[in-house]
Amino acid sequence: MRELISKTAVITPGAERPRRLRTNPALRALVRETRVDPSQLIAPLFVINGHDHRHEIASLQGHFRLTPDLALREASRLADLGIGGVLLFGIPESKDAEGSGADDPRGPVAETLRGLRREGLPLALVADVCLCEYTSHGHCGVLDGEKVDNDRSLSRLAAAAIVYAEAGADLVGPSAMMDGQVAALRSGLDGAGLVDTAILAYSSKQASSLYGPFREAAGSTPSFGDRKSYQMDSANAHEALREMELDAAEGADILMVKPAITSLDLLARARDRFDLPLAAYQVSGEAAMIEAAAERGWVNRRGAVLESLTAIVRAGAGIVITYFAADAASWLRETR
């Protein structure tokens, strides 16, 4: 027994001792490769028409449907935290087959954008562009029978983008996964003289099980079928890169992948391949998994949030859309 111990004691790892640089917090900070800054984070906001009214979203802890005046107040809190931007989703009072509410200049997104623009907060103003919150059937485009009609949806999406850009959006984010949507938005915007409005393209958007809480928040669950005929099969990486390639060629200013944690390989590959800024959307189901586990005491909430955001940035995203933007920003300020 004695002999065994002395034998193992002489085994050394050689000259390489990576633990040297993990000795104390100062050394660890010195060699840290990835830092997340609040300015990289975008917070989603759900907006409704009206005044001084908010409605808690049961499926998204700490998030509310807000009237434009309250959205303004929330945005100014986010700006104080150093957050980079807000992404607006509108929930209309009524829905129809064509999603008419999407390009209504009196709709909640346009109203909120005008208010935010007037306020002049140091935030990038992003408007999601899709029809699913506005259609009675909940699909992201208009229908031809039970099929989503790609080409007829394009003009609807472009019309919505123009309304949001006119209301003050810096960026419009087409999320419908219609072929040619980036080109349609670019030519629509340019035709309206809105040449400075940039496009944040939801390029690789997977048909994911992780959008459930969002659909509850937005009331956008499809009334029949699913989104697999337009959103991506999460099994396909080459196709995802091709989607990004097409969006870049169509004039996208920023490429996005979604969900984030199931797309880290795509981010890493896209980072090597494209010279455009890359974004990732940590979606509602990703947030819900952390919230639920933290609530049970199974994971540390702060740790899990910061770890996931760091991994997303490490993989290649320079921009992260996250429901944890406010919490993460305040934690990141503390740990500086």
Residues involved in catalysis: 205, 258
Residues 99-128 that bind ligand PBG (CB under 6 A): 128
Query: Hey, what are 325's tokens?
Result: 């933007």
Pairwise CA distance, residues 76 & 71, whole Å:
9
DSSP 8-state assignment for residue 232: B
Residues 99-128 that bind Zn ion (CB under 5 A): none
Nearest C-alpha neighbor of 264 from the set 310, 315, 314: 315
Q: Which backbone phi and psi does 92 adopt, to 5 degrees?
A: -80, 165
Residues 45-74 that bind ligand PBG (CB under 6 A): none
The answer to whether residue 305 forms part of the interface with ligand PBG (CB under 6 A) is: no
Q: Least Å distance between CB 11 and ligand PBG?
A: 50
Looking at beta carbons only, is 68 or 99 nearer to ligand PBG?
99
Q: First and final CA of the chain: distance in angstroms? A: 49
Pairwise CA distance, residues 231 & 205, whole Å:
6
The answer to whether residue 175 forms part of the interface with ligand PBG (CB under 6 A) is: yes
Looking at beta carbons only, is 67 or 220 nearer to ligand PBG?
220
Residues 251-290 that bind ligand PBG (CB under 6 A): 283-284
Letters for 218-257 (x = contact with ligand PBG by CB under 6 A, - = none) are --x-------------------------------------
Q: Least Å distance between CB 132 and Zn ion?
A: 3
The answer to whether residue 130 forms part of the interface with Zn ion (CB under 5 A) is: yes
Burial class (CB within 10 angstroms; exposed 0-12, middle 13-18, buried 19+) of 94: exposed
* Contact indicator for 307, 331 with CB cutoff of 8 Å: no
Residue 40 one-letter amino acid: Q
Contacted entry of ligand PBG, Zn ion, none for residue 46, CB cut-off 5 to 8 Å set by kind: none
Residues 124-153 that bind ligand PBG (CB under 6 A): 128, 130, 132, 140
Contacted entry of Zn ion, ligand PBG, none for residue 181, CB cut-off 5 to 8 Å set by kind: none
Q: Least Å distance between CB 290 and Zn ion?
A: 24
Nearest C-alpha neighbor of 165 from the set 99, 106, 110, 203: 110
Residue count at the site for ligand PBG (CB under 6 A)?
12
Residues 314-333 that bind ligand PBG (CB under 6 A): none
Looking at beta carbons only, is 279 or 305 nearer to Zn ion?
279
Looking at beta carbons only, is 130 or 328 nearer to Zn ion?
130
Pairwise CA distance, residues 245 & 311, whole Å:
24
* Contact indicator for 83, 325 with CB cutoff of 8 Å: yes
Pairwise CA distance, residues 265 & 317, whole Å:
11
* Contact indicator for 292, 328 with CB cutoff of 8 Å: no
Looking at beta carbons only, is 274 or 323 nearer to ligand PBG?
323
Q: Could you tell me whether strands 64-66 and 54-56 are parallel, antiparallel, or unpaired per DSSP bridges?
A: antiparallel
Q: Which of 140, 160, 162, 217 binds Zn ion (CB under 5 A)?
A: 140
Q: Residue 255 pairs with which residues in a beta bridge?
A: 201, 278
Q: Which of 211, 230, 274, 324 binds ligand PBG (CB under 6 A)?
A: 211
Q: Where are the beta strands (DSSP E) in the chain?
A: 41-47, 54-56, 64-66, 85-90, 124-129, 143-144, 147-148, 171-174, 198-205, 254-258, 278-282, 319-322
Total residues found in the chain within this entry: 336
Residue count at the site for Zn ion (CB under 5 A)?
3
- Rule CB under 6 A: which residues touch ligand PBG? 128, 130, 132, 140, 175-176, 211, 214-215, 220, 283-284
Interface residues toward Zn ion, by CB under 5 A: 130, 132, 140
